[in-house]
Structure 1
């Protein structure tokens, strides 16, 4: 850690630092704790406002999102808001509260439904209490020029934000530590298009399954061929670019 701290001219805060050990490192536990002088931490814990997990993201883990939305809505109690005012608050404030999470996790469907429920109640009732919906939420989330209110579809937004991580792998952004780790540990001899969606952690499986939605948006420039695998990308080419390869 010393070169890292030297470059950043920083010192580790021992009160805020934790050492989390895997089972394989258990024999070194006492030695590492003595050298680093850190407290021992255990998953799950929170880092930069998000949960650090060794398992799938649960509804309980996402409770802070729902609590923030409820707190905002309750904070507007007693304020007379027009329908247009509530629409604007949903667009500019409430819809933004889960974006930070949506950039890091594929949110459980139940959590998305609970978020939409609170936004829907606020839109029609002005509170978190259940109100009568005059129009379906799907219609509300359509663009204004298509008859909707232009409120973001949370599921589509989450999918779009998470697809960015796949794009970084496809573009091979080697300046990213995460991308390098994925290539070394997960992909190895595979590509984003060929690796199985049945292996790996829950989050990885969910992420890699988003690749189908990216296929129509991808065009490869082969160049000198050093970073392009014809065999690894043949299914993509067959289905989207060169049908004659089937034969």
Structure 2
């Protein structure tokens, strides 16, 4: 989840499993939800349980990878990616590269900015 984009269907399945766990559903028998799911996903300081949305968390991980590519040019994995995809100017010029990997496509999907790297 920290290195590739998780498909929406899988995120929805994980969310459904979490809901069943919290509400105490068993063997396909669902129970009545006593609180809105959006309320449960709020921070504890706001009255929620602090559960994070899987898709939002995944997007945050992808943005973190993009930020690291832009700022931590001395680490080995960043140098490898920069060399492989020819990142010299900006990230947006490398997005349409036809033979890019799934990991690269996941990273650039949420890091579409025009600043120089």
TM-score of the superposed pair, with normalisation by structure 2: 0.76
Q: What is the CA-CA distance between 1:165 and the residue it aligns to?
A: 1.6
Matched, 1:195 2:77: no
Gaps of 5+ in 2: none
Equivalent residues, number: 114
Give the corresponding residue for 1:110: 9
Q: Which is strand-richer, 1 or 2?
A: 1
Give the corresponding residue for 1:160: 60
Matched, 1:122 2:21: yes
Distance 1:153 1:209 in 2: 18
Gaps of 5+ in 1: 1-101, 216-231, 235-247
Across the aligned residues of Structure 1 and Structure 2, the Cα RMSD in angstroms comes to 2.5
Distance 1:197 1:132 in 2: 47
The higher radius of gyration belongs to: 1
Distance 1:150 1:126 in 2: 20
Give the corresponding residue for 1:179: 78
Q: What is the CA-CA distance between 1:193 and the residue it aligns to?
A: 4.1
Q: 1:132 to 1:209 in 2, by over 3 A?
A: same
Higher relative contact order, structure no. (Cα contacts within 8 Å, ≥ 6 residues apart) = 2
Distance 2:27 2:54 in 1: 18
TM-score of the superposed pair, with normalisation by structure 1: 0.40
